[in-house]
Amino acid sequence: MVTFNVRTKNKTVSIIVCFLLALFFIIFSKYVEQHKDMVFGFGDMKLPATSFLGIVQAVIGLLCIIMVCIDYKMGRVLALFYMLGSIFFMFVNIVRTGDMSSLPGIYNSIITIVSVLIISNGLAKADKRAVTDFLTGLRNRRGLVTLIDRSIRDKKSFSVVYFEIENFRTINDNLGHKYGDVALKTVANKLMEIENEDNVYVSRIGGAEFAAVVFGSIDPKNFAEKVIDKIGTSVTNADDIDIRLSLSVYSGICSYPGDANNADDILKYADIAVYTARTAHSKNRICYFDKEMKEKLFRQIELDRMVRDSLAHDYFYLVYQPQYDINTKELRGFETLLRLKTPDGVNISPGEFIPVIEKSELIMKVDSYVIRRALKEAKAMVDAKGNNIVISINVSAKNISSHGFVAEIKEALKESGFPPKCLEIEITEYSFAEDNVVTTENVTELRALGIQIALDDFGTGYTSLSQVMRLPVNLLKIDKSLIDDIENNQINRDFVDAIIYMGHLMDCEVISEGVESDKQLGLLKAHECDFIQGFVWGKPMEYEQAVELCK
């Protein structure tokens, strides 16, 4: 509600105070009218009491306007009650006595009534605009919160069903915001059709997010399915734009009073459920909120904070997993692995914090940290081995596809004095899904510097064979998932054999990661794999141990 910035209780008190003041001035004016001959003296100045009537009328009008500004609904009722009552009694007095001295007061009261109506109507329109989304005409987030708060006060059971259009950003990026706006209007129109049919109230939260509050016996899951089916079908845009769009929608559901008891938590939990549906790629694209999601989200927030603290205070450290020639067991080099230990000595599993890093903008900062620290530390290993060793560093898809990556590597090499030929950059097949052109340019430039390139997790299926064959890669890494069951699964053995053969055909060396048993080692040797890394010959080790191994 558009009012003075006061709390609800204070608004009520303020209106009561204004009401009583206005009542006092009305009583005062009636008293003056009955004692017209009364004179007030101020030194030599003598003022008749009737001279104050105009001031009293103006003050009463001002108080009426203040009441409307505090709460236009209640204030308008009270103000009209005052003014119409005042006009009535003044008119009766004129008819009864024939004295026209009250006529200016009637004019003032009429002017106050007009002012009250104009101001209250303006505030009512502003109030409506404040809870309405300007693009779609639906309730906005504020309007939704108001509805939820009122429903909670009335002790009504309901569910909030969140909807998120998955491919909306693609529409904006590829077609332009004009197409995106029309798509949002189309979705809003379909939601309003549903609202008119059922005991449902729909809102646009922002961006491509919508929400509905469903009451009564309506099953929220069935409702969500109905909306997804209605929105997800191809829609023809209007506004002189002739194009068909297929919209992909996810939904999350949170219920009152079962899941939460206030508007903020209800909306937050519904949003969490949408996020879970989107990241879990649920078949029906609908997810109910549960406590496990909340705990998982809070853990992610905590891990995000830990990562930021680690970058700021250097809580990260590196371990080094040795890589060996499969035939001679000669040390080829090390793969650097990131670890995190909190100040109180607790080790956080990479399986926990690495996914958090990869999903945020922190990945670029963490990559830079690892590159600079690894080159600085590994310089001692390179010196001990006479430049006859390779230090392998994993780089994210976002980093290898960025325009400034090669310049960053050059700067780090210069700062550390690390020889380029001893550096190996590990990238995944997924790197080429980010920005194929920039990634390929960066890889080519790195190879021209003498830096080696390893294609990590090979065989996971992101890259076509023809694409791989065009890359200046010198090492293929067979993913651990293909090695795990190689002892018992003939298909895995055949697939690994094919990868090794393909790598040699491309003039690449091949390394298998995750080798944990002698039988796996024997099978890989029989298939002519070049290198291995894994627990069978060496676990990840601390920096001092790695340096000692190189001596």
Annotate 274-288 with b (16+ C-beta within 10 A) or e (fewer). bbbbbeeeeeebbbb
Q: Does residue 2 have a pLDDT over 50?
A: no
pTM: 0.61
Tell me the C-alpha to C-alpha distance, in Å, between residue 93 and each of 35, 81, 99, 297, 550. 15, 18, 7, 72, 111
DSSP per-residue letters across 147-194: HHHHHHHTT--EEEEEEEETTHHHHHHHH-HHHHHHHHHHHHHHHHHH
In a domain, 330, yes or no: yes
CATH number at residue 399: 3.20.20.450
| Range 479-508 burial, b when 16+ CB lie within 10 A, else e | beebbeebeeeeebbeebbebbebbeebeb
Pairing of strands 235-236, 209-215: unpaired
Q: Are 520 and 499 in contact (CB under 8 A)?
A: no
Q: Say yes or no: 126 and 175 in one domain.
A: no
Answer whether residue 233 shows pLDDT above 70: no
Higher pLDDT, 242 or 275: 275
Given 92, 107, 130, which residue is the final one in a domain? 130
**CA 439 to each of CA 381, 401, 402, 434, 464: distance values in angstroms, whole numbers, following the listed order:** 29, 4, 8, 8, 15
The overall average pLDDT reported for the chain is 81
Q: Which tens digit of pLDDT belongs to each residue from 170-205? A: 665 566 667 777 777 777 777 777 765 567 888 888
Q: Three-class SS of residue 314?
A: coil
**Same domain, residue pair 47 and 75:** yes
pLDDT at 343 over 90: no
In this structure, the answer to whether residues 170 and 270 fall within a common structural domain is yes
The band of 51, judged by pLDDT with boundaries at 50, 70 and 90, is: low
Same domain as 150, residue 126: no
Whether 213 and 344 share a structural domain = no
Q: Quick one: pLDDT band at residue 33, thresholds 50, 70, 90?
A: low
Average pLDDT value for residue range 113-137: 75
Q: Are the C-beta atoms of residues 28 and 56 closer than 8 Å to each other? A: yes
Same domain, 469 and 377: yes
Question: What average pLDDT does range 148-161 have in this prediction?
Answer: 86
pLDDT at position 224: 83
Question: What is the pLDDT, as a whole number, of residue 53?
Answer: 62
Identify the CATH number of the domain in which residue 257 sits.
3.30.70.270
**What pLDDT shows up at residue 418?**
96
Range name among 76-80, 309-313, 326-330 with the lowest pLDDT average? 76-80
Q: Are 359 and 467 contained in the same domain?
A: yes
Evaluate whether 541 touches 335 at the Cβ level (below 8 Å).
no
Report pLDDT for 5. Answer: 39
Backbone angles phi, psi at 101, to 5 degrees: -65, -20
- Which of 99, 130, 161 represents a domain boundary (last residue)? 130
Question: With bands split at pLDDT 50, 70 and 90, how would you rate the model's confidence at 44?
Answer: low
Asked whether residue 52 is assigned to any structural domain, the reply reads: yes
pLDDT score, position 421: 94
How many domains, in total, are found in the chain? Answer: 3
Q: Are residues 332 and 351 in the same domain?
A: yes
Q: pLDDT of 356-386, one tens digit each?
A: 888 777 889 999 999 999 999 999 999 999 8
pLDDT tens digit sequence for 76-112: 887 787 777 777 777 777 777 776 766 777 777 788 8
Same domain, 430 and 327: yes
- 181 and 219 both lie in a single domain: yes
Gap between the Cα atoms of 370 and 314, Å rounded: 11
pLDDT, position 101 = 63
Instruction: Tell me whether residue 299 is in a domain.
Output: no
Q: With H, G, I as helix, E, B as strand and everything else as coil, classify residue 413.
A: helix
Most confident of 23-37, 282-296, 530-544: 530-544
Looking at the chain, the whole-number percentage of residues with pLDDT higher than 90 is 25
The predicted structure's pLDDT at residue 1: 35
Measured distance CA(490)–CA(106) in Å, rounded = 101
Taking 90 as the threshold, does the pLDDT of residue 395 lie above it? yes
Q: Which tokens sit at 378? A: 């590994």
Does residue 496 contact residue 482 with C-beta atoms inside 8 Å? yes
Is residue 135 domain-resident? no
Domain assignment present for 451: yes
pLDDT at 533: 96
Pair (283, 311) in one structural domain: no
Q: State how far the Cα of 412 lies from the Cα of 430, in Å rounded to an integer.
A: 25
Question: Radius of gyration over alpha carbons of the chain, in Å?
Answer: 37
**Residue-level pLDDT at 413:** 95
pLDDT of residue 3: 38
Residues 478-504 have a mean pLDDT of 88
- pLDDT (mean) for 126-150: 78
- Full domain range(s) for residue 239: 141-289
What single-letter amino acid sits at 522? G
Phi-psi region of 224 (alpha: psi -120 to 50; beta: other; left: phi over 0): alpha
Q: Which pLDDT score is estimated for 479?
A: 86
What's residue 4's pLDDT?
Answer: 38
> What is the separation of C-alpha 159 from the centre of its chain, rounded to a whole number of angstroms?
22
Boundary (domain end) residue, out of 107, 130, 153: 130
Instruction: Please answer whether residues 527 and 497 qualify as being in contact, where contact means their C-beta atoms are separated by less than 8 angstroms.
Output: yes
Averaging pLDDT over each range in 69-78, 268-277, 434-443, 489-498, which range is the top one? 489-498
**At CA 82, angle to CA 76 and CA 85, rounded to 5?**
130
Q: Which of 46-50, 66-70, 130-134, 160-164 has the lowest mean pLDDT?
A: 46-50
Q: Which of 114-118, 337-341, 494-498 has the lowest mean pLDDT?
A: 114-118
The pLDDT of residue 242: 58
Q: What is the pLDDT of residue 62?
A: 81
pLDDT at position 237 over 60:
no
2 assigned to some structural domain: no
